[in-house]
Structure formats: structure tokens, C-alpha cells
Structure 1
Amino acid sequence: MPAQQDATGADRLAAPTNPDPDLVEVLRDLFADYRATRATPTAVVDLDRGLWQRLEDLGMTRLTGSESAGGSGGGWVDAAALLGLAAAAAAPVPLAEHDLLGGWLLEAAGLPNDGGLRTVCRPDPSGVALNVTWARDASRVVALWEDRDEWRVADVPAERIGIEERRNLAGEPSDTVEFDVDDLEAGALVPHEIGEQFHLRGALARSAQVVGAMERILEIVLVHVRERHQFGRPIGRFQAVQHLVADIASETALARAATDAAVARAAASDWRDPGMLFAVGVAKSCVGHAASVVVRSSHQVLGAIGTTLEHELHTLTKPILARRSEYGSLQDWDETLTTLASSAGHDRLWTLITTGRAKPSHDHRSHAP
């Protein structure tokens, strides 16, 4: 879908597009079944290989990979829907790492992909990467490494890396990985834009996941305030509770709109649009600020029951808190947006908002009286 243009020729933000409805229906059924049949949640989250196999059988684990490389040939709109629905089911599977990031890097580098489970990371100059999700479960780890002024992609077998097992706030595997620098130096060279794009792709993938989880939280909260009674009536009849529910709904809707706008721009331009930094920054900022409100307010509404291991709520709120700081913290993205807005100045701020970049005006006529 090409970006629209206004009368002056300035590109507008791409209009949101909808994912394939048949795909969404299949995914809703799959994750509804998973949610209904999974074991009682615990404090530790491990890869669900049975669910991963079901997704693989449906072609979902390599949804955005090109058909020539063994993928399903899907785009970012469908992939964002998959991420959101999986996150809403608290599905412990590395969809973003394996496909949208790892698979994409392999294709960009011209490296083969045997379909084995992969995760992805950016090692430091010494070859160490922190907080690598699902590393212990991967058959290979795709490393994007900055080698002085060049970027390299290495697809390293699990037996050639050292792993110190750790877990994040959500209880998911989030390991420290150590590479042999020789393996990284042998990686394939990729253009500089690949290295720059990786951070944006990761940030948008995490935004899509957090939004999906927040939408599920809203569903849980709405059911709870209708069914839970105090003083002879549903707690949803109390104004204080209504305010909390309204905050959850409005912040979730704002985060959804910002994320959809960035996904639509990415899909329309295949990530070539120079406004992607602003679009992803807005999404990550809106999602990050919304996350605080949604997590806090949902636990206030549900009270103690929402903190029990048996309840679904914590399987959503803890991953939200873990993921909102990945691929750039909320402060980092707020500072990025502040810098972009400041550099645009008052005369180009609207152009920045509507196009994602602050281009100088082509109209040099004086407006003085």
C-alpha cells in the first residue's frame, strides 16, 4: 500500500491496514484452545514445544520469511497480529526472535535457514550478549555484531556458545551468551541499514506484543467488574472502579493506534521510509507509558486474586513489564522523540507528526504583511 500524499506532495502517515481475517480466525481458535488446556501458571516459564510445533505446522513460525527461503511470505501486518494474539495468550514461544528478527537477519545476510529454532542478539565487542531470550532452547543463535565500522551476521550453533542461564521478570529464559569472537568475525557482512533497522524492528515487535497483552487484560478486567459483587452490586458500578477501567481502556486504545500506525508504515515501505524512527518511537513511547497505567490499574481492580499464581493476570502483566524496556527503555525513546521534536522546531513540528520526518518547507515566500 503506497503512502498517501497531501496537496503539497508531503507523505502522510500510512493508513492502518487489517490482517488477513482468515489468518486471525485460525490464530484466535489456536490460542483460545491453548489458553483453555494449558497447565496452571507457575512462577517459571519455559518454552512450550508442543505449541511451537503446532505453530510450525501452520507455517506461523516463519510467517514473514520469503517463500524461496522456506517461509510463508507474510508481511508485518499479519506478523503483528500473530505477536499480539500470542502475547494475549501468554504463549511461551519465540516468534519475534525466530522469525521477525533472526529469520530476517539470515535472509539479509544471504545465510541458509534450516528452520531450526533460533533466537537473536547483539553481542558486545568481546562477544558477550546479555538478556538473550530463549537462548537455552535454540539450536542456533543469530548474532548481529558491530565489527568496528561494519556489521556482520553470524549463525552460531548452540554447541559453540557458552550460556549462563538466567530469567527475566516474567520468569522466561533470558540468558547471558558468550561467543567465540572468531565465529563472529567469520559472519557475513551486511549493509549498515540492517544494523540500524534491527533495533527498530525489535522495538516494534515488542510493542505489538505488549499491546496484545494489554487488550487481553482489558477483557479480564471487564469480566471481573461485572461478575465481582460488593455491597450488593457489581464493583463496576462504583465510580472509582469505573475510572480505573476507563484508564486501562483509553491507554490500551492509544497504544494500539500508535503501534498500528508504525506497523502500517513499515508494511507500506518495507522499512525504507525515513520516518520509521519517529513512528516506532511514538509506538514504543505510547506503549511504555500505557504499560504502567494498565499494569497498576488492573491489579488494583482485581486486588489480591490477580497476584496469585493460579490467576491469568500475572502471566500478562509481568511480561509487559519485562518487554517494555527491551530494544530501548521508555526513557531512551522519550529522549529520541524529544530530540526529533526539538530539531524540527515550531515551523516543522506538524510535518514531523504527519510524515515522521521534518523536511524543510519548499515554500520560501514571505508571510510578512
Structure 2
Amino acid sequence: MNVSPSRPGAERSGACASSDVSTVRIGALVPLSRPGWVAAGQHLLAGLELAVAEVNDSGGIDGRPLELVVRDTAADPRRAEAAVEELARLGVAAVVGEYHSVVARAAAAKADELGVPFLCSSAVLDALTEEPTRWVARLAPPQSHGWRLYADFLLGAGHTRIAVATEPSVYWASGVRILRDHLAPRGGTVIELDARALTPTALCDALVDHRATALLLLVGFPEPAFSIVTAVRADERLAEVMMGAPAGQPEFAAWSASLGDDGAAIPFLRYLPERLGPLGVRAGTTLRERLAEPPSFVAFEGYDTVVVLAAVLRRHGSDRAGIAAAWPHVAVEGTRGPIQFTRTHGISAWQWDGAPIQVVDRDPAEPDRFRVLHSTCRIES
């Protein structure tokens, strides 16, 4: 797939070059430039664009083609807010996408304020809005669900003294709190190490001093994650320390390409079933061709986003209020299983509570192959 980051304020149409009123316009928020996670944005956009193309090939929405109007958020919350405002003025029926949780939270708040439906594809921060909203729905599982599963995996693997290398962020702070709250009653200890204040070498010394058996990388990608991984792997004192990356950094090809063997055996969260159904297999094959690499779970999230929204548009029309009112009535087969939205305790948006969650790593014997270490569900093909 050839993806060019859109200029600030520039429009990119992913399925129809025309802005004719006969189209149904959908706004898409994706990180396509630094400091955003560009690989994640490219995969997300590939999934969105593929599903839009398939909807249009099958007749569109009651004969009207879908038009994807893409805005690059570059991991900037203010830029996302401005994009939602602009897309609302352009008359989009809904906004979709976004990978970064803090950015998605800003977009969700603005969508709620303006009365624009927002179907969040990939961000996991529990509180996308301060108060419950009828305008926002989400496909990715809440952070509290996935990170508690990850904590259970750590305990099952015998890790009770767990260090986290972290940087300032609402997302990382939320992750630390989830881990601590879940591990402490079960005898686990979470030790915070400031990745800004410690060099990779000093961080290695701290791991030895604290007798940590696991180190979780709650830091930026590629740096300082790459430097920390390299330092820990090179330190003979830490040969038995497991590294983990619950946010999913090792999912993308750049991880393995940059770190090689050092990037293997670092468990992370991935939102795929152990086996894809027929729709997932078919979509995955085409996504692989478009991306020229295996599609990540983010690409499937993008595809499922359009599958859900197209179903809503066909049944309820393109009126914004009608779309928002339809979230609790969604019943759609996605690439990763049947999708429905419910109200979940502590979650402000409408939530797909059946999203699959895995803990996986890259196989040291074959770094391009993923090993499933722990999983919540399986979908039979």
C-alpha cells in the first residue's frame, strides 16, 4: 500500500475522489506522521480503505458510494479536535478511526460536544469521555480488560516482582494503575522506573537492585523502547528477566526489523482470535497484498469499523442522530467475530465487549511467527 501522510488541513478521499452530495462521507482519523505511530496508522487506514472499497463494489449505501475523508492526527489531541470540527462542517455522517488513546479521547469529547457519531477503531483508554455519551462507540477492548488479562498472564508465568519503565502519559499512568490494582491483592509488586531520568544502563542496574523478574516497556516507540531492549538483552545479570510490552509495540514489522533476535520473546497484547473466520481470512489475504506485509490486528479493527458503520447506514440512514441511536442495535459479523455494543460498567462509550484478546510474542526460533501465550476466546473458521 502506498500511503502519503496528508498535509495539515488537507483532504484525502480513500474511496471516491468526488465530494458530490450523492456520496456518504465518512471522516477518518489516523496517525500518518511522526510523532504518531505511523505503522499503526497505515494499517488502520488500509483496513478502512479496503472495507470502503468492498462496500462500494457491492452497491454502496442504497446506491450512494462511501467517501472516506482522511485526516492525519500525528498523535496530537488538538489536531484531532480540529479535524473533528472540520469534518463536521464538511457534513460527514460519522467519524471513525484513531489509534492513540489520548488522541481518541480528545476526538471523542469533541464529537460528543458537536453531536457527531464517532466509532473508535483502536484506542483502548477506558474513559474516552468524562460522562457517558450516546455519540461514541468503540471496537477495541477497554484498557482495563486487556491489561488485567496481561497481569494474569504475568502471575501465571511466575512473575510477582514486576518493574515498569514508563514515561509521562495518561495512558501509561492508567496502565500502571490497572496493573497495580490487579496484582497487589494477588501478591504482585509493581516497581516504577522513570525512563526519562534513567539511562538504559542505569535502568538495568535498577532492575538488579529491585530483584525484578519482569520489565514492562511503557515507553515510546521506537525510542526509548529500542535502546532499553538492547541494553537489557546485553546485560548478563538480566538473562532471566522477561521483558513485556502490553501496548503492542512488537506487533509491527519495524520492531523485528530493527531489533532482530532481541525483539523476540517479548509478550504483548493483540486483539485477534486464535483462528479467524472466513471473513477474517478473506480480508486478511487482501490486506496482506495491500500492505506488502502481514496485517496487524489494527488493520482488522479498521476493516471491522467500516463493516459496522455500513450496516448502520444501510438500516438507519446517514442522519447523525439516527446513527448514534443505532449503536445498541448493532448486530454484525466482523472479521474477528460477531459485533454488538453494550453499556459496560466504568466505560463511557458504547462498547463491543466481545473483542478477542491475546497475549502473544514473537517466536525466538522464527521471529516472524507469533506464539499465542494466553487468550480469551477462539473463533472457528
Which TM-score applies when normalising by structure 2?
A: 0.26
Q: Which has the higher helix share?
A: 1
Structure having the higher strand fraction is 2
Work out which of the two has the higher radius of gyration on C-alpha atoms and give 1 or 2. Answer: 1
